[in-house]
Amino acid sequence: MSDFWQGRKIFITGATGMIGSWLVKKSLAAEASVVALVQDADPQSELYRSGDIQRVSVVSGALEDFWTLERAINQHEIDTVFHLAAQTIVGTAHRFPLATFEANIRGTYNLLEVCRLHGEIVQRVVIASSDKAYGEQPNLPYTEDMSLNGRHPYEVSKSCVDLIAQAYHHTYKLPVAIARCGNVYGGGDLNWSRIVPGAIRSFLRGERPVIRSDGAYVRDYIYVEDIACAYMRLAECLDDKRVQGEAFNFSAEKPSAVLELVSVIRKLMGCAHIEPDIRNCIQGEIRSQHLSAEKARTILEWKPEFDLETGLCETIEWYKAFFAGHDGRDR
């Protein structure tokens, strides 16, 4: 890893989430000075389980509180901001959209406004958007020149996040770039409604994994360490005028149907005798989504290092270790 990050002061929102925890880990390995926004302490988060929480400065508070963000960036003299914090569950947004809009939209413009006010110290900002920001499109894969067309609450929140970030660059010249990722999997994801952690937990228990769709929904799946590295690479390139104010897709470019993914997990875990439980009760989700990462490959010279089976093997081992100390039944 280059010495770009050595001693650099970075602020990570969503540091207790799966991606945030791995971004903290990668940043510490690169010898950055990390400040983490933590709303709720979760001892089962990878940030805590790994002990990395002891190596970062913690700012306690919520994205919705403007002055918490102002204090974090101003007092800690932050150079680089990674904004990952969000309400990320599609079903949760569908049932009660207000909290999702507050966290995802208000939280983002609060943070960007703080970065604008302290533009003399903030040199680069990376905003986590999503493939969901594109909404449903007639043609696939998604490319960055497509319109943002969210329709359901979670998609709309991500479309708004994306557009607000672009507005802050084009209006105020804020050095911001946007990351649009597919479905990220890896150790540390404790949202059991998601297919990868949910299926692994079920197979470890000898139970049938629940598939909420009909199993034919198509998604990109990319390993969390690849995405943590992608965020860092995007920030490293923000001095490049081709990157400022731009969005970049990050994808392994090998989409899979849900049943195909579960089949790979089942094979890797030696659970061929356990059939999935297909419920077909999903609401508010797009049937097929996947991304082209050509722009990131060309401009950022980025590519994923983990194929699906390798990433899933790493993920399965993480959950085996996790459940060795905790059975997860109260999660």
Distance CA 239, CA 285 (A): 36
Is the distance from CB of 188 to CB of 18 less than 8 angstroms? yes
Q: List the catalytic residue out of 134, 142, 154, 217.
A: 154
Task: Give the three-class secondary structure for 253.
Answer: coil
CA 87 to chain centre: 11
Nearest residue to 188 via CA among 69, 260, 82, 84: 84
Strands 218-219 and 256-257, by their bridges, are antiparallel
Q: Which amino acid is located at 206 in the chain? A: G
Cα 50 to Cα 45, 56, 302: the distances in Å are: 8, 12, 27
Task: Give the three-class secondary structure for 328.
Answer: coil
Strands 124-128 and 247-250, by their bridges, are unpaired
Active site (annotated) includes residue 48: no
Residue 120 tokens, joined: 């003399």
In sequence order, what DSSP letters do the residues of 79-146 get, joined into one string?
A: SEEEE------HHHHHH-HHHHHIIIIIHHHHHHHHHHHTTTT--EEEEE--GGGG-S-SSSSB-TTS
**Catalytic residue positions, numbered:** 154
